Amino acid sequence: MSEKNKQEIVLVDDDPKIRDLTAKYLRDQGLHVCTAEGGKALDKVLEQKKISLIVLDLMMPDESGLAICQRLRVNNVAIPIIMLTAKGDEVDRIVGLEMGADDYLPKPFNPRELLARINAILRRQTNVDAEKKDLAQIIKFGDFIFNINNRSLTKNGIEISITTGEYDLLKVFTERPKQPLSRDQLMQLAKGKELDVFDRSIDVQISRLRKIIEKDPNKPNFLQTKWGYGYIFNPDGK
């Protein structure tokens, strides 16, 4: 059995037709998929199964996708989340990323595009698991220790919750210290896809990372803006 087939996805959508048709398509493509009609059902799934990825609809009546995403992140659930948002509603997409979603896809969506997004995240997860077989890679900067081997970030010995998207981005930066990186390069290296001209996910996750590692996110020392180019990581904080 391949690594991909060992990983289980949960699809959360209150529309039974969309939920069932999408799940069937993904299963036909060889993925292991279970479904949930809302937040309470998702909680039960997470209690009973080891889930590798959550596909989460934003617009649901009892508890919105944004509320679910925020609740999971507050409770340190770091499972990758792909948010399904209304087409053209950039505000919801940005808020979803700020809440801790790893990627988003506007509805109505092409199932093949969703499959591509899922596979990209699962590949990154598989690569992370493979890294655990190697010697620990530890990067120290300021009061922080970033352990690539076990996906942990600690400050003064206290572990800090970090999402998959934040981990992927920080890993790209720490592996390329003092190297200016454009938004296009960051998107390709962290997410394995091309940057859409309207895609602000990199900027949002940069903002989230700064809130985690910077004393003053508005005056960053580690994760600095390279005006006219992109961003640069300075591990010495200068």
Confidence of residue 2 (pLDDT cuts 50, 70, 90): very low
What average pLDDT does the segment 44-73 reach? Answer: 92
How much of the chain is helix, strand and coil, in % rounded to 5? 40, 20, 35
Please report, for residues 69, 186, 226, the alpha-carbon distance to residue 182 in angstroms, rounded to integers and kept in the order given. Answer: 28, 6, 9
pLDDT tens across 157-191, in order?
A: 899 988 888 888 999 999 888 888 988 888 888 87
- At 5 the pLDDT is 52
How far apart, in whole angstroms, are the C-alpha atoms of residue 87 and residue 92? 10
Instruction: Report the range of poorest mean pLDDT among 55-59, 82-86, 134-138, 219-223.
Output: 134-138
Q: What is the DSSP letter of 39?
A: H
User: Domain 3-131, what fold?
Assistant: Rossmann fold (3.40.50)
- At 92 the pLDDT is 73
Return the structure tokens found at 230. 């992109």
Residue spans of the domains in the chain: they are 3-131, 138-233
Does pTM top 0.85 for this prediction? Answer: no
In CATH, what is the architecture of 138-233?
Orthogonal Bundle (1.10)
Q: Which amino acid is at 110?
A: N
The residues near 154 (Cβ < 8 Å, ≥ 6 apart) are: 144, 145, 147, 160
Mean pLDDT (the chain, rounded): 85
